[in-house]
Structure 1
Amino acid sequence: MPLELQAPALSLYVHLPWCLAKCPYCDFNSYAAAEFPAERYVDALIADLERELPRIWGRPVHSIFFGGGTPSLFPPESIARLLSELRARLRLTPGLEISLEANPGASESKRFRAFREAGINRLSLGVQSFDDVFLTRLGRVHDGRAAMAAISSIHDAGFERWNLDLIFALPGQDLSAAMADLERALSCAPPHLSLYQLTLEAGTPFAHQAPPGIPGEDLAADMERALRERLHAVGLVRYEISAHARPGQECWHNRNYWRFGDYLGIGAGAHGKITLPGQGIWRSQKPARPESYMDDALGPAAEIGRGHWVQPAERPFEFLLNALRLVEGFSCAQFEAGTGLPCLEIEPQLRRAQREGLLTYEDGHWRPTGFGLDWHNELCGRFLPRSPRRPAFHAHEPG
């Protein structure tokens, strides 16, 4: 019997799509450009938001995340203007988390203090590695010295909340090199660290022609195990598949994704998920190319991009694909509030996954085991609907 959907916490995702260069492993909606129309794009974001307001009117916004691309390429005054326009239109909760993704670089690092003055209170720094050899193999435009300088700028600007992205299983990397990279990261005392294995995503240059020397599965698994043990030993606790944090430093915005929270997405290629009690769950996606997005947003169209209602049969898989990324797992009450369906509908699959050692049940919560986190796709496959539509998710991994 269907239950009443409940509107969860709401976040705002803002996509800023330009980068100095497109990394060969990156499958995000990003575009290399030496120059870009920052002010026109901000105008488009405001116009996009105006059209979305009826769906979320009056609901408090608990976090804002500027993702990309490289949002730190935007002038701080453009970010300040956009935040001012957001404050005028949205009900922002006091002290909400406002994150901005950044890459190391001399010109960007000089802007960190200005971003803080504009209202950004959390940075996510895409270091990926501190080793110049591996950075070159990844196609990054910065070196290890620039990475360390950027972290110094974060401290100098007074940011207490920030994240560092690190990738392992790099071309030609062995276990000792991966551990050395992590130790350099830990020497900077990050309060949050996102750890990713290099993957060859479809459609990227690396997928078309893999670089030589990518570690095999066994070596990559050994690296991951050793790196995560070291992170845990220094107090950076794993709370999501890729995310480690000190207590109280978890990324609120990204954790809201995994808790199947709502998020309004504005910007080129941005995804959104909005729960409308009595109607259903609405997923949206904006035009991917910045030029098309700006033309549509600044034109007369009533809607920008496309969207669809998530069918009830699809909701359990979408909920679990997110919730089972979290170490904390979920309760049946959370499942029922988020999907509008009784937990009994998925109990056979839950029990099967429990027997297989993928899930545990304790204190009213279903939680993935370490084995379940490592085999997340296989675990979630237990809950696929018979005729699934490919789910549309937010544009970014946590960071």
Structure 2
Amino acid sequence: MSKKEPFGIYIHIPYCKAKCRYCDFYSAPGARGVPQSYVDALLRELARNTRRPDTVYFGGGTPGLLSPAQVDALIQAAAPLPGAEITLEANPDIVTSETLRGFRAAGVTRISFGVQSSDDAQLRRLGRTHTAAGAAQALAWAREAGFDEICGDIMLALPEYTNAEFDRTLALLRDGGCTHISAYLLKVEPGTAFYRSPPAGLPDGDAAADFYLYAVQQLEAAGYRQYEISNFARPGHEGRHNLLYWNCNDYWGIGPAAHSCVDNVRRFWPGDVQGFIDGTIHEEIEGDCTVEDYLLMQLRLVSGLDIAEYERRGGRFTAAQRAFMRQCVSHEYATLDGNVFRLTPAGMVVQNAILAELI
């Protein structure tokens, strides 16, 4: 592997208590823990790495199903650099005060809770297994365990959604001590329970856009500065690991369905838990990370696209594309500050349409 800095490791934990009705991620529902055989397979792969990471991210699935001892062993094997950001995703009803203290003692610096909503009826509709009171308790336990970096997720444009539901969820996360909030629109993906049987009361595209813009405004007012299309943080608390993705830095994913990009080459693991445990599947090459990928990722960020850097990487905008960019500015979908092209919140709503013109 390259020695270029920075570098992150993503560790995929595919096990979860129950499959949410909107989820299209690779996961194995019905789990009450993570088999040691799976952890051993992760340790086997980590032993191949010779590069110390700046960030480690436990994603899933539900990484909170790991025991603190398993997390400790995986962090030790990853050998992160001093001061590394180490994130673990968890569902509020999976953790206890004891496990959170154990995760913190193992070296986890950042805990991320999939709260989604403060409305219990909405949570049941989504297939979530926690309650609003349970989320508040988990946040309190995280503070007591010594976590300074606490993250919470909010889903927008849910069935029968209102701004009032967003306000209550934001208040739950803010009062719970969250330093970082991810707020993203519900997407009904093929293969999910919602796709097979769509819920009643889903907002249309215009209403969803309005919910997003309202969320951006309210999060800013609450002290959470937007730095990416769906991510908001108190100053200095931005997620370092995900910034590796958006800035096209190196990251290595381990586990079935995990993706990597190292030295501008994208790889992935096939989605096969048992094959991963047995060592019968291996990473496969997906393709090169292109200048178009860089453009797409940079326009997710509030910091925007540095056009000179884009051109240094081999990108070029035609005269027609530059005219389109100026048109975006005139319609307040973007700003052009010197050589930096940034999407506004209104532009982020229609990001796909803008990218279609620029790629």
SS in 2 for 1:18: coil
Give the CA deviation at 1:336. 5.3
| Aligned counterparts, 1:236-315, within 5 A | 236-275=224-263, 281-296=264-279, 304-310=282-288, 315=290
What CA deviation, in whole Å up to 9, does each residue of 1:207-228 have, x standing for no partner? 1111111122333233222222
2:155/2:183 contact within 8 Å kept: yes
Q: Could you tell me which residue of structure 1 aligns to residue 110 of structure 2?
A: 122
Q: Which residue of 1 aligns with 2:217?
A: 229
**1:323 aligned onto 2:298:** yes
Distance of aligned partners of 1:226 and 1:345 in 2 relative to their CA distance in 1, 3 Å threshold = closer
C-alpha distance in 1 between matches for 2:235 and 2:247: 18
CA deviation after TM superposition for structure 1 residue 256, in Å:
1.5
Q: Any stretches of 5+ residues in structure 2 without a counterpart? A: none
**Mapped pair 1:212 → 2:200:** yes
* Counterpart contact for 1:267–1:293, Cα < 8 Å: yes
SS at match of 1:355: helix
Aligned pair partner of 1:137 in 125, 143, 150: 125
The counterpart of 2:343, out of the listed 368, 381, 396, is: 368
Looking at structure 2, the residues matched to 106 and 291 of structure 1 have their Cα atoms a distance apart, in angstroms, of 24
Match of 1:84 in 2: 76
Give the alignment partner of residue 46 of structure 1, picking from 38, 43, 66: 43
Letter in 2 for 1:64: V
Please name the residue that 2:326 is paired with: 354
Q: C-alpha separation between the residues in 2 aligned to 1:138 and 1:105? A: 15
Q: Is the CA contact 1:360–1:369 (under 8 Å) kept in the aligned structure 2? A: yes
Which of 27, 30, 41 is matched with 2:27 structurally? Answer: 30
SS in 1 for 2:303: coil
AA aligned opposite 1:307: I
Q: 1:351 to 1:9 in 2, by over 3 A?
A: farther
Compared CA separation, residues 212 and 286, structure 1 to 2 (3 A): same
1:98-177 map, 5 Å:
98-105=86-93, 107-177=95-165
Aligned to 2:62: 70
Q: Is the 8 A contact 2:26 2:257 kept in 1?
A: yes
Q: Which amino acid aligns with 2:283?
A: G
Corresponding position of 1:394: none
CA separation of 1:107 and 1:188: change in aligned 2, threshold 3 A: closer
Alignment CA distance shift 1:361-1:76 (3 Å)? same
Query: Secondary structure at 1:19's aligned position in 2?
Result: coil
Name the aligned partner's letter for residue 79 of structure 1. V
- Partner AA of 1:161 in structure 2: E
Shift of 1:108: 4.3
Cα deviation for residue 177 of structure 1 reads 2.7
Q: Name the aligned partner's letter for residue 21 of structure 1.
A: A
Q: 1:309 to 1:170 in 2, by over 3 A?
A: closer
Matched letter for residue 86 of structure 1? A
In 2, distance between residues paired with 1:24 and 1:79?
Answer: 28
Q: Hey, what's the Cα distance between the residues in 2 that align with 1:173 and 1:308? A: 38
Matched, 1:335 2:310: yes
Query: What's the counterpart of residue 53 of structure 2?
Result: 61
Cα deviation for residue 168 of structure 1 reads: 2.0
- 8 Å CA contact retained: 1:258, 1:322: yes
Measure, in 2, the Cα distance between the counterparts of 1:333 and 1:40. Answer: 48
Unmatched 5+ stretches in structure 1:
276-280, 385-399
> How many residue pairs align between the two structures?
355
Deviates more, 1:239-248 or 1:108-117: 108-117
Q: What is the letter of the counterpart of residue 120 of structure 1? A: V
Cα RMSD over matched residues?
A: 2.3
In 1, distance between residues paired with 2:228 and 2:172? 22
Q: 1:171 to 1:308 in 2, by over 3 A?
A: closer
C-alpha change, 1:331 and 1:292, in structure 2 (3 Å) is same
Offset, 1:49: 3.1
Summarize the Cα distance change of 1:246–1:37 in structure 2 as closer, same or farther, 3 Å threshold: closer
Distance in 1 (CA, whole Å) between partners of 2:322 and 2:111 is 37
TM-aligned CA distance change 1:284 to 1:74, over 3 Å = same
Identity %: 35
How far residue 171 of structure 1 moved from its aligned partner, in angstroms, is 1.5
Query: What does the per-residue CA deviation read over 1:112-158, in whole Å, with 9 as the maximum and x for residues that have no partner?
Result: 11000001000111011111111111111111111111001111111
**CA distance in structure 1 between the aligned counterparts of 2:317 and 2:110, rounded to whole angstroms:** 39
AA aligned to 2:230 is S
Instruction: Report whether the alignment pairs 1:179 with 2:167.
Output: yes
Structure 2: how far apart are the matches of 1:11 and 1:128?
Answer: 26
Deviation at 1:35, TM superposition (A): 4.3
Once the two structures are superposed, the pairs formed by residues 380-399 of structure 1 within 5 Å of their partners are: 380-384=355-359
The AA in structure 1 aligned to 2:114 is G
